[in-house]
Structures are given as C-alpha cells and as structure tokens.
A and B are shown apart, each in its own frame.
Chain A
Amino acid sequence: MAYSLDKIAVDELFSKWGEDYLIYGPTLIKNTGRLSDTDSVRYDEVKSIDDLELNLKSDYSFKDVILPISEVLFYYNEDGMMVPKQKHNGAIIFLRSCDLHALDRLDQMFMENGKPDFYYTRLRENLKFVLIPCSKSFENCFCVSMNSNVTKNYDLTIEEINGEYVFESKDEYFTKFFSGSKELDYTVPYVKENDIKVEHVEKINNLAITKSEMWREYDSRCIACGRCTLVCPTCTCWTMQDIHYGDNQKAGERRRVQASCMVDNFDRVAGGHVYREKNGDRMRYKALHKISDHRERYGVDMCIGCGRCDDICPEYISFSTILNKIAKESE
C-alpha cells in the first residue's frame, strides 16, 4: 500500500524510527568530490529528511554499515581478549535497487563462503531497507545489463513527488506508522534503459583472457590506488591488523581493515613474492572476480553495474569498457 506525506509528517516518522533504529542514508558532503569544488555523496547517520540526498547517486556505498572500513575484532591484554559490543542493534538503510542486489553478494561472501562470519552476521541481523527508486539512469550506470535494475527485496520505498513524499510499505513495522495517512495508487518506478550496455559472456576461458594483450593498457593507466574497490558495494576484502597501545606492550586491539586487490601487498607472501606485480594483471583479477569468478561459485555476477568505480577513478578508467573488451576477446 502507498501513502503520501508532507515533509513535517516525514520528519516525525524519522524521529519515531530513530527510537528503534539507527537511520543510515546517502548525504551530500560539500567539497569532497573527485574534482576540487565538487561535492560527494556518502553514507552517514540521518536524523531528518533534509539530511538525505534522494536525487543523486551516492559516491560511496552503504556497505560500511555492516562491513565497517575498520572494525575491532577484539581487544587484548594480559588477562585475555574482549569482543567489543556491536555498533548498532538494528538499522534502517536507504539505498537503490542495485545496492539491494549488492547486499546479496555481501551475504554470499560472509554467510555462505565457509562458516557464517560472527561480526557481519550480528550487524546484518536487524536491518530494514528503504528503496530509493531510480526513475532514470545516472552517469556510468549499467544496471539493466547486470539485472539489478529491479528489486522486490525492500521493506519500504520513498520517492519525492511534487513536494510530498510517497511511500510504499511491505513491512509491518513501517506500515503501522502510516495508519491515517493519505493513501494513493502508486507504482514503484525503475530504470528500463542505461546509456551504457555491457555484453555478457557465459563462459570465460581464463587462460586465453589472461594472455590477452588488453590488460597491458592498464599497467600504466591504472595507478593502483584502490579507490574503485573502496567504493564498490560488492568488494569485501580485508586484512587483519594488530595495533598496540603506546607504552603498554601487552595491550592492544586486533582489527580487520578494508583491503584492495588493486593495491600493492594484497598478495605479498613472506619472503617477498607477489603473484600480480603489474597493475594490468590486478585489473584482470578484479574484473574476472566481478563477473565469472563469482558467478562460478554463486550463480550470479558479483558486479551489479552501479558504475561507482568509474565515477571515482582518478584516471577515468571505465569498468564497463573493460567488461565489453573481455566479451569481445572471448568471441
């Protein structure tokens, strides 16, 4: 059922939801964009509808609500180890269709790849998802090619129409707040076409694609900064890190911090050997993970076509172009 509310009523809802949940959504942050004097959209806690940026694509993804960039696994001292309390006991997350598809990929990695992950699972437990529908495609998006343009896995949707906010609820918790609100006929919009289209390849010949010359372009073009994987809603890699506190030699913490296969040392083993020295080879490793490697294990591509990697890349490298080159090379 869909309801229409004015801004004041929506802010009242936000404060009521805020009593039960942490509310997390895309917010506009001035002068933090890729170019100077441009803005960026990042995830943060929101208290009112004014904090939310509903019209732009976020530059960073929602993933750090459940997969913090840096997360303490335990504190240690002479007496033993202590696991910290979780950051929240439940959160409402505003996101887009492709992001909800990305959530499946995160779940696959943290709940199905081996035993379920303690830290991920406890943050994942009590989440509600509010879809911000896209009525038109943003720059660099190719969600239609990746089948992530439509989703039904939301609890609530929100769209601004003529100064009012229209909600469709599929969840009891949310529905109860709308009793007495104005009802209306409403269909959740979705993107039917993107400017960018990506060619799919059913079966990739790993050996042939590894030998392809196409990667050499990226040996020098890519500067291995890792921003593409940082903003990617489906990249999950991390590295263990022990930190000890100043003078106290016995106390400290063990953390996991986000890592990137594009960055030096990701694959370095003791003795100094690295498996992918060239940036072009790291690009191949990343690109194939995003499509065939993940698909072989979980039946779906990992990439959901949000194009955030292209939005952020300081070298203007286009990931959709890379996927299309792979398709061409595989013909």
Chain B
Amino acid sequence: MITNEYLPFSSKVLKVTKHTPMEHTYTMEFAGAKDVVPGQFFELSLPKYGEAPISVSGIGENSVDLTVRSIGVVTDELFKYEAGRHLYIRGPYGNGFIADDYKDSELLVIAGGTGVSPVKAIIDYFGNHNDEVKSMSIITGFKSKDDQLFREDFKRWGKQMNVTLTFDRGDETKENIGLVTKYIPSVKVNNFDDAKAIVVGPPIMMKFAVKGLIERGYKEENIWISHERRMSCGLGKCGHCRVNSTYICLDGPVFNYTVGKDLID
C-alpha cells in the first residue's frame, strides 16, 4: 500500500520563542529529527485554516524549530497556540543544505530577515563543527533592531564565527547600518577556490548579494541560494511551485547558483 503523504501527523508544541510580535519560533516534537537536513521545510497543517510551508530553523534531539512570520490565515491561527498544545505538521520536504557541499571551505552565509530561518540550522551545524570548515562568516541583516530574530543564538555565534549583524535603519553610533551587500567587500578570503557562499533572503536581496559575491571573486558554482514559491503540496504533485522543468519543492528549495540562476518564472 502506498503511504498517504497528505495526512499530517500530530506534534506537540514544546516551546514558543517570541522574537518579535510578528515572528515566533515553535519548537515542535518530532521523533525523526536526526534525519532532517537544514534548509528542508515542513507543511504546517491546520485543518479548517489550511497549510503553509515553513523552513526548519533548528534541529534538536527530538524536535524541530519552525520560525514563523504571522502574515495570513494559517500563520495567524498558529500564533494562538502556546506550548503544550498539539498541532498538525507533515514533512520534512525538499533537499536542504548538504553539509558535505561546504566542508573544508571558507564558508560565508548571507541572509536577510526571515531568510535567516532556513539557514539557521546550517549556521548552527558549522558553529558546532568549526573544525569542518577553514573559516566561517555570516552577514545577516534585519530592518531594525526590533526586527532581529534569534538574539540568543547570535550571542553563541559571536563566539564561534565572524558575525556581521546589520540593520536597514537605526543608530549608526551603536550598530552597523546598511544592507548586507555593503559588507561583502570586507569579508576576509584567503583563496577563492575554497570560498563558498550561501545566500537566502528576499529575491531582490539575493540578486544583489550574489552580484556582489561574483564581483568579489566568488565562483558561481560555489554559491547556493534557496527559493520560495507558491506551494500547495510540497510533494511534487500540485504544480504550483514549478518553474521551467524544476519543481521547487522536490528539486529545491536549495539550488546551486549555476542551476538556480536560470529559472524563469
């Protein structure tokens, strides 16, 4: 008998972390957590309200983190849930960031806004396995200090890697102000053969960050991006996420830039 992939399973909310009024992380019980790959996603499934694809922002022993921005029908409903309640999810789906692709590299992760969620688990991984990369840097941007996510994690990352945190607006005397692209020229690179980069954020930010990286000397094949599209199934069946011959939910959401750049909606 073929498994019915559309049936979501019940999962307990273990913890809710409120980063901002609009963005909360839900730590969800999930027994299969050890097989989840950073950058994969789950379908948050709330009968009556619908489903929403949400990236894995953290992988625990028996749990996964889903960091959600409250923006519509499903996500608004989710925000009524507190720790201890159960809800439905299904997944994980998609390819994710494969750690082996980045081993022994000088790794740079550039992410903006909620784009930090899908890369958070891979930042965590190399933060904890510092010996697997030659160097590790992140450039992350948020609209303002009030919009920052993962404040506690940034403290840890500060000790593990080179962290650049910047805000679109704020007090220039206290923090970095400007877009993430502004900081690409100051990343220290020893050898561009080893320099690899992951870029995730709004399409316009990804476009300019990749441009900045290529101008800097990064090779196209050493850059990875993650795409978002309308999704109804996450299973390669509904057709909504298709771009050319690619299904973002199956073949992505993570793409090497040499592949990802040619997708035309």
Interface residues of A (CB under 8 A from B): 73-74, 76, 81, 83, 109-110, 113-119, 121-122, 206-207, 210, 236-242, 244, 249-250, 252, 254, 256, 259, 261, 266-271, 275-276, 285, 288-289, 292-294, 296-297
A8–chain B nearest beta-carbon distance, Å: 42
The docked-state distance in angstroms from the alpha carbon of A243 to that of B4 is 20
Quick one: which of A115, A270, A296 contacts B5, CB cutoff 8 A?
A: A115
Check B240–A267 contact: CB distance below 8 A: yes
Shortest CB-to-CB span from A269 to chain B, Å, is: 5
Mark B160-184 against chain A: 1 for CB-CB distance below 8 A, else 0.
0000000000000000000000000
Q: What are the residues of chain B within 8 A of A297 when measuring CB–CB?
A: 245
B48 proximity list for chain A (CB < 8 A): 76, 242, 244, 249-250, 252
Q: Please report the C-alpha to C-alpha distance between residue A81 and residue B4 in the assembled complex, in whole angstroms.
A: 12
A285–B240 CB distance below 8 A: no
Asked if A289 and B262 make an inter-chain contact with CB atoms under 8 angstroms apart, the answer reads: no
A293 B7 Cβ-Cβ under 8 A: no
Instruction: Answer yes or no: B242 CB below 8 A from chain A CBs.
Output: yes
Select from chain A the residue with minimum beta-carbon distance to B48: A244
| Contact, CB under 8 Å: B236 / A118 | no
Contacts of B264 in A (CB 8 A): 206-207, 210
Give the Cβ gap from B213 to chain A, nearest Cβ, in Å.
22
Q: How far is the CA of A297 from the CA of B229 in the complex (A)?
A: 19
Contact pattern, B 21-40, Cβ under 8 Å of A = 1, otherwise 0 = 00000000000000000000
- B2–A121 touching, CB < 8 Å: yes
A238 surroundings in chain B (CB, below 8 A): 232, 237-239
Asked if residues A240 and B232 are in contact (CB atoms below 8 Å), the reply is yes
Task: With CB as the reference atom, state the residue of chain B lying closest to A118.
Answer: B4
B240 surroundings in chain A (CB, below 8 A): 237, 239, 259, 266-267
**Which residues of B lie under 8 Å from residue A269 when comparing CB positions?**
228-230
Find chain A residues with CB under 8 A from B5 CB. Answer: 115, 117-118
Q: Are the CB atoms of B250 and A118 closer together than 8 Å?
A: no
Interface bin, chain B: 35 or more
- Contact A240–B51 (Cβ < 8 Å): yes
B residues 196-255 with Cβ under 8 Å of A? 228-230, 232-233, 235-240, 242, 244-245, 247, 249-250
User: Are B237 and A114 in touch, CB under 8 angstroms?
Assistant: yes
Which chain A positions have C-beta within 8 A of B235? 114-115, 117
In the complex, chain A residues whose CB is within 8 Å of the CB of B2: 115-118, 121-122
Give 5 nearest A-B pairs by CB, closest first. Answer: A114-B236, A237-B239, A296-B245, A275-B265, A118-B4
- Cα A119 to Cα B47 in complex, Å, equals 19
User: Which of A81, A109, A256: most chain B CB closer than 10 A?
Assistant: A81
Asked whether any CB of chain A lies closer than 8 Å to the CB of B49, the reply is: yes
Q: List 30 A-B pairs, Cβ < 8 Å.
A: A76-B47, A76-B48, A110-B237, A113-B250, A114-B249, A115-B5, A115-B235, A115-B236, A116-B2, A117-B5, A117-B235, A118-B3, A122-B2, A206-B262, A210-B264, A238-B232, A238-B238, A238-B239, A239-B238, A239-B240, A240-B232, A240-B233, A240-B238, A242-B50, A259-B238, A267-B230, A270-B71, A285-B265, A292-B245, A293-B242
In the bound assembly, the distance between CA atoms of A261 and B242 in angstroms comes to 10
- Give the CA-CA distance A139 to B148 in the complex, in Å: 62
In the assembled complex, which residues on chain B have CB atoms less than 8 Å from the CB atom of A296? 244-245
Cα(A210)–Cα(B244), bound, Å: 11
Contact yes or no, A270 B75, CB < 8 A = yes
Residues of A within 8 Å of B238, CB to CB, are: 237-240, 256, 259
